[in-house]
Amino acid sequence: MFPKNFLWGGAVAANQCEGAYLEDGKGLSIQDVLPKGVKGARTEKPTPDNLKLEGIDFYHRYKEDIKLFAEMGFKVFRTSIAWSRIFPNGDEEEPNEAGLAFYDSLFDECLKYGIQPLVTISHYETPLHLAEAYDGWLDRRLIGFYERYVRTIFARYKDKVKYWLTFNEINSILNSPFMSGGINTPKEQLTDSQLYQAIHHELVASALATKIGHEINPEFRIGCMILSMPVYPLSPDPSDVIKAMEEEHKNSVFTDVHVRGEYPGYVKRYFREHGIELDITDEDREILKNTVDFISFSYYVSVCATADPAKNIRGEGNLLGGVPNPTLKASEWGWQIDPKGLRYVLNQLWDKYQKPLFIVENGLGAADTLVPDGKGSFTVEDDYRIEYMRDHLRQVEEAIEDGVDVIGYTSWGCIDLVSASTAEMRKRYGFIYVDRNNDGTGTLARYRKKSFRWYKSVIESNGESLKEGKADEISGH
């Protein structure tokens, strides 16, 4: 069963929901020039087809939305601070007061309902100036700019925010260096040494944030955030098993450094064999020893790996791709659905690190249809989403029974928002429908989906309603 203080809630990112991209002194972020998401080309300047410029207008409607989250019974709400609201260019000496004041109001609104804010410091929204003038995290100076930013927000919100995440899905920089690391150099021109140097700068900045946070408020709980994607061998052939292990290592190095404070042997071997040389100072090594309080992660898909080049065909996956698993079904967007993989990941991380775990993203992106609710309003009959989440949450409970310390679960896109991968509205995750379409039309009105009532009952019962039979009863069958 779920622990009685389990943190149930939902998650969003500033760049996907806030809008107001130039209001109150905000500077441009890399998201403002990614109108087609991570999979599309960047533009020189913001263009009208970029739905993130308005998002779902959370910037002006957050009170209405948080009230809906409170109605569901949220204990925690994960959001991010837009770095360019606080430091519009990223390299200023002084912060933008209007940006700071907005997040004061947002966090106060959460606390009014007893909802704990869980705040991501950098969620795919590096200030555009830092990308264009410094080439993002390739430049060591970004550590100092990030430090100034974290000192500012830690000091400002030290009595309002307890839970912090340093970088969203930090390992996604391997595949998406511009969106994840603000690296302006095209991916195909980056050397391995450059990419891992940028990664090193982020890891040092993350550890430095942990150190500073604990100094400013010892009650802070600071975590890393990893894109988790279990890699299964495609066959029992030992070569496939080793290949799967090597693929896992590419991602687990990020967790290893955050939790253990140093680079593991397997990545040192990888550096040696690939001629990767990094500038790592003695001071860097000292800073890296400031390890996280908990591990948070996203979980959407699992993938397979094979040593056989003929079978090594990449699927859609999340940001990291991988070979599709022939035993699993996929979503409309080609992401394979594997609830048991979530139990597997939780056990893997717990066995290896013995640190509390927080699932901060999980959910189903689907094309929803708005229908009359019979009471003069509208709803979405999203039984497919209820089934997806019920199956995953049952596996979370199995992991807790296995002895894993899971402290919370925030479903991704608890209110519909602009997708990160494709920058469209049609790919919806929420319990709350937002009336906005891919062409930008719509009233922005909010409607409770069927899953809204279902998730409310899950939280109210602390997961008891997930038991066989009860979930169907509550969701209205």
Q: What is the DSSP string of 187-246?
A: GGG--HHHHHHHHHHHHHHHHHHHHHHHHH-TT-EEEEEEEE--EEESSS-HHHHHHHHH
Question: Which of the residues are catalytic?
Answer: 169, 361
**How far is Cα 353 from Cα 337, in angstroms, rounded to an integer?**
26
Q: Of the candidates 131, 112, 109, which has an alpha carbon nearest to the alpha carbon of residue 122?
A: 131
The one-character DSSP state at 428 is B
Q: Which residues pair with 226 in a beta bridge?
A: 297
Hey, CA dihedral for 83, 294, 365, 71, is it positive or negative? negative
Cα distance between residue 252 and residue 242, in whole Å = 15
CA–CA distance, 198 with 245 (Å, rounded to integer): 24
Other C-beta atoms closer than 10 Å to the C-beta of 144 total 13
Reading the block at residue 137, the tokens are 């995290």
SS3 348: helix
Distance CA 361, CA 229 (A): 12
